[in-house]
Amino acid sequence: MADTAPSDLVVAAARLVRATPGAGVLSPGYVVVSGGRVAEAGPGPPPRPADVELSRGVLVPGFVDLQVNGYYGEELATAGPAGWAAVAGRLPETGTTAFLPTFITAPAGRLAAALRAAATLLPGLPRGARVLGVHAEGPFISPLRTGAHNAAWITDPEPAAIDELLRAGSGVLRLVTLAPERDGAIAAITRLTEAKVLVSVGHTDATAAQVAAAADAGARMVTHLYNAQRPMHHREPGVPGQALTDPRLTSGLIADLRHVSAPMCRLAFAAAPGRICLVTDAAACAGMPPGRYLLGGQPVTLPDGDRAAPVRRDGTLAGSALRMDAAVANMVAAGVGLADAVAAASRVPADLIGRADLGRIAPGAAADLVWLDDGLRAQATWVDGDLVYPPDAAH
């Protein structure tokens, strides 16, 4: 590939997934980039000679991950500028071009401090994956569905606590996961929604009716479908049953095939087409060798193995070590169509977070592009038409 200016780039691809609604796979296809935006995309050869010829694999939009606790040895809730820069700078290696750093349950004051720190870090980050804001996963969750969260720090979403988070996270807080059955939760959902913060139902023992009430109040997401929530039953649909049948709700899915089996992943895509978004829920151990790391300030261990997931001392799953390109590959291997799997990692989460300029290859969208090889592993990534991975643009 030649080193080309981000203001003018023409890419010809053997296969192209634009991830726009109803679009499939183009074979071949092309993309024209101008000024860091997609100017044109379509089937067949490009209208003028290509700067980049991709004779194999598939060109897709950059992935959007709404749940990243950490990566490359860094836990984002406690990392400094160098740690944030390392994560944002290297995530394009996995095909991710935009993400939400995720802070799990912590004392309210500590969480507020982490949000204020994030606000000061964001303007100074170098070129890499875009930080779209922060996802606060807790502390307003159920003690019956804690997962890897510290139960001692769980609390009710009282108005003062919500106001403190909104003040501390002004301009930064984009997503809050909470349990809608907690005292004050419905009022909190309304308050957060009015403040333009996306609310997700998660770590919850809510009934289907309580999840529906959360959606009535403005919740639009379910955090890591099937995990850390009241399960589906044929007489009480629980959280998954309501999530999959309620058209207002889009569900995050940890597609590492450890948190959720392949048949249940297929079921989710079949039951809620266009309403599944892939997330990694990556912890600091992601992209690192087996060993001991931190999540929520507490130790986790990443065992050896291709699909290993980090665990607490008691064996509880604690985030993942998943790559987004691997999540897409896992879903395709599980029987999900390539175009649907790519959209679940790009356009669906981008739309959910209110970024219609991301996650698709369409005129006017940011030219965030990923070239996946035939095994669906990222080989090259562009952000705003600028090749950011691999670091050396000529190879």
* CA atoms of 352 and 393, how far apart (whole Å): 32
* CA atoms of 176 and 223, how far apart (whole Å): 10
Average pLDDT over the chain reads: 95
* 2 has pLDDT over 70: no
pTM exceeds cut of 0.85: yes
Find the DSSP H helices in the chain. 81-90, 108-121, 159-168, 185-194, 208-217, 238-245, 262-271, 324-333, 338-345, 347-352
Tens of pLDDT, residues 339-352:
999 999 999 999 99
In the residue annotation, 281 being an active-site residue is answered as yes
Of the pLDDT bands very low, low, confident and very high (cuts 50, 70, 90), residue 168 is: very high
Q: What are phi and psi of 37, to 5 degrees?
A: -120, 155
Of the pLDDT bands very low, low, confident and very high (cuts 50, 70, 90), residue 17 is: very high
Give the pLDDT score at 308.
85
**Angle ∠(216,217,218) on CA atoms, nearest 5:** 95
**Domain 8-60+360-389: homologous superfamily in CATH:** Urease, subunit C, domain 1 (2.30.40.10)
Question: CA-based Rg of the chain, rounded to a whole angstrom?
Answer: 20
Give the pLDDT score at 305.
80
Tens of pLDDT, residues 283-327:
999 999 999 999 988 899 999 987 789 999 999 999 999 999 999
Residue type, 226: Y
Give the pLDDT score at 1.
41
* 392 has pLDDT over 70: no
Tens of pLDDT, residues 65-102:
999 999 999 999 999 999 999 999 999 999 999 999 99
Pull the structure tokens for residue 374. Answer: 């035939």
Give the pLDDT score at 5.
45
* 148 has pLDDT over 50: yes
Residues facing residue 229 across a β-bridge: 204
Give the pLDDT score at 108.
85
Tens of pLDDT, residues 234-264:
999 999 999 999 999 999 999 999 999 999 9
Active-site entry in 65, 256, 281, 351: 281
Length of the chain: 395
**Domain 63-352: homologous superfamily in CATH:** Metal-dependent hydrolases (3.20.20.140)
Task: Identify the sign of the CA torsion 236, 237, 242, 246.
Answer: negative
Question: If you average pLDDT over residues 1-10, what whole number do you get?
Answer: 59
Q: Which residue has the tokens 């403040």?
A: 195
* 220 has pLDDT over 50: yes
Of the pLDDT bands very low, low, confident and very high (cuts 50, 70, 90), residue 8 is: confident
* 186 has pLDDT over 60: yes
Answer whether 145's CB lies under 8 Å from 109's CB.
no
Instruction: Please report, for the chain, the start and end positions of each structural domain, with discontinuous segments joined by +.
Output: 8-60+360-389, 63-352
